[in-house]
């Protein structure tokens, strides 16, 4: 997990960045969003030290913890982060948007696939 905060007066939008089928942490994409004024959390969810080498063994609770971390620590504009990913990460964004229980009564996850 790698978090980047925006400098200056906020609040700023926040994006949880999920990598593709290769796993790992996509710091480059997170830095790209960061250079455009967004706070980012590049989240590894498989093929990362301490986690499973297989995407299918990643519990949804892992993403819930990341989501709560962003809300509590980055305090995103609008009170909710966006979750973005490519390929497998993009498919996962849709699953998370429908599956993660949140602190809000509204469905507070926005998803996109660039």
Q: Render pLDDT for 1-51 as a digit per residue (tens, 0 to 9).
A: 666 666 677 788 899 998 877 788 888 888 888 888 889 999 998 898 988
Average of per-residue pLDDT across 97-107 = 60
Which sequence spans correspond to the domains of the chain?
A: 2-112
Q: Which ranges in the chain belong to alpha helices (H)?
A: 27-34, 60-69, 88-99
| Per-residue model confidence (pLDDT) at position 106 | 45
Distance of CA 51 to the CA centre of its chain: 16
Q: Is the pLDDT of residue 85 over 60?
A: yes
pTM exceeding 0.85: no
Angle (CA) 71-40-84 rounded to 5° is 90
Separation CA 14–CA 33 (nearest Å)? 9
Average of per-residue pLDDT across 47-75 = 87
How does the average pLDDT of the chain come out, rounded? 79
Average of per-residue pLDDT across 96-111 = 59
Q: Does domain 2-112 have CATH number 3.80.30.20?
A: no
């Amino acid at each position: 997990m790698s978090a980047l905060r925006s400098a200056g007066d906020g609040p700023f939008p926040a994006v949880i960045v999920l990598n593709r089928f290769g796993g790992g942490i996509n710091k480059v994409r997170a830095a790209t969003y960061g250079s455009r004024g967004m706070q980012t959390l590049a989240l590894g969810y498989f093929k990362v030290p301490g986690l499973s080498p297989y995407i299918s063994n990643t519990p949804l609770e892992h993403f819930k913890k990341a989501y709560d971390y962003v809300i509590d620590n980055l305090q995103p504009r609008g009170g909710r982060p966006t979750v973005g990913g490519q390929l497998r990460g993009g498919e996962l964004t849709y699953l998370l948007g429908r599956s993660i229980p949140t602190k809000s009564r509204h469905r507070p996850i926005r998803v996109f696939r660039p």
